[in-house]
């Protein structure tokens, strides 16, 4: 599938911004994370994306490899970030075939709507394990390669742009609380905590750690799960201050910024990309069913 450049990355960035860099991305077959990687590959990086669905991951990797001539993109499926052994195997393959890991996107996540009353302990644990434990496993296992990348960059051996950059893909609902999202709010709050602690511990080694918190992004799997966006086009984004849902390009541009030399002194920060939505959307999904009806009815199939 061919994408016009204007659909996935701003013209503000130089085409070779990440030449000879390697990005490793968990959750890389998802709508948002694949868009982040697409922009980086277009701007010169090679990439390794991992995901649980093997065929989907390979298909997305092939699509990403066609963004730029001679781009190298590995798609490694069957990888559950909750299992360090599987994750380590993917990391080892990435390093062996692509030469290292310079940039890391921690994006694997799980989500669904459920009230606390209906949320089973196992369902709660599953989201915590994917988002929080998975994020921890990812940064822990890639850390040696990120530090090595910084050292090689300082020696002039890792191409264009900075090395040792980490972005955690978070969310905004835990800033205020969010109906039917207790599990995700808890998981993402923990992810943010890991990201900030990582920034403190490995900043002295030259590795930066930052957070991108997307708001409602149109056309994504998450929005299809959490709202009736496809059924209420006429109301799309009306509760967002900028009067529209975000696009994957908005998240991709934020990613390019944090991985670029423009963000050399940015560490341990949260970049919210949501058009100001979190300040007004705390009462629930922009679905046409408003608070408190969305919790009083307990009919999450309509939300």
By annotation, the residues acting in catalysis are: 170, 188
Return d(Cα 253, Cα 69) in angstroms, integer.
Answer: 21
Cα angle 253, 255, 258; round to 5: 110
Q: Are 164 and 146 in contact (CB under 8 A)?
A: yes
Return d(Cα 281, Cα 288) in angstroms, integer.
Answer: 12
DSSP of 98-147: HS---EEEE---------TTT--HHHHHHHHIIIIIHHHHHHHHHHHHHH
Quick one: which H or E segment has residue 63? helix 54-65
Token pair in block for residue 57: 């991951």
Instruction: Compute CA 190 distance to the chain's CA centroid, rounded to the nearest angstrom.
Output: 15
**What ranges in 165-237 are assigned the alpha helix state H?**
182-202, 221-226
How many CA atoms are closer than 13 Å to the CA of 142, on its beta-carbon side?
A: 37
| Cα end-to-end span (Å), the chain | 31
């Amino acid at each position: 599938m061919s994408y016009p450049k204007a659909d996935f990355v701003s013209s503000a960035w130089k085409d070779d911004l990440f030449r000879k860099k390697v990005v490793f991305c968990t959750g890389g077959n998802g709508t948002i994370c694949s868009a982040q990687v697409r922009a980086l590959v277009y701007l010169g990086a090679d990439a390794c994306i991992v995901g649980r669905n093997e065929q989907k991951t390979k298909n997305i990797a092939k699509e990403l490899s066609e963004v730029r001539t001679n781009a190298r993109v590995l798609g490694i499926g069957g990888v559950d970030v909750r299992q360090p052994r599987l994750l380590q195997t993917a990391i080892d393959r990435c390093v062996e075939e692509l030469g290292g890991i310079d940039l890391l996107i921690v994006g694997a996540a799980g989500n669904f709507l459920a009230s606390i009353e209906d949320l089973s302990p196992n369902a709660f644990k599953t989201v915590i394990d994917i988002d929080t434990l998975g994020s921890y496993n990812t940064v822990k296992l890639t850390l040696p390669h990120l530090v090595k990348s910084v050292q090689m960059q300082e020696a002039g051996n890792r191409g264009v742009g900075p090395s040792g950059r980490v972005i955690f893909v978070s969310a905004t609902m835990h800033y205020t609380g969010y109906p039917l999202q207790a599990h995700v709010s808890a998981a993402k709050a923990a992810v943010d905590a890991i990201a900030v602690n990582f920034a403190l511990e490995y900043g002295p080694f030259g590795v930066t750690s930052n957070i991108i918190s997307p708001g409602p992004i149109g056309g994504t799997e998450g929005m299809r799960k959490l709202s009736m966006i496809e059924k209420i086009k006429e109301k799309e984004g009306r509760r967002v201050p900028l009067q529209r849902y975000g696009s994957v390009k908005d998240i991709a541009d934020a990613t390019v910024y944090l991985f670029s030399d423009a963000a050399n002194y940015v560490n341990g920060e949260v970049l919210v990309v949501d058009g100001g939505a979190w300040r007004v959307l705390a009462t629930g999904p922009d679905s046409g069913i408003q608070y408190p009806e969305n919790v009083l009815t307990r009919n999450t199939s309509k939300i």
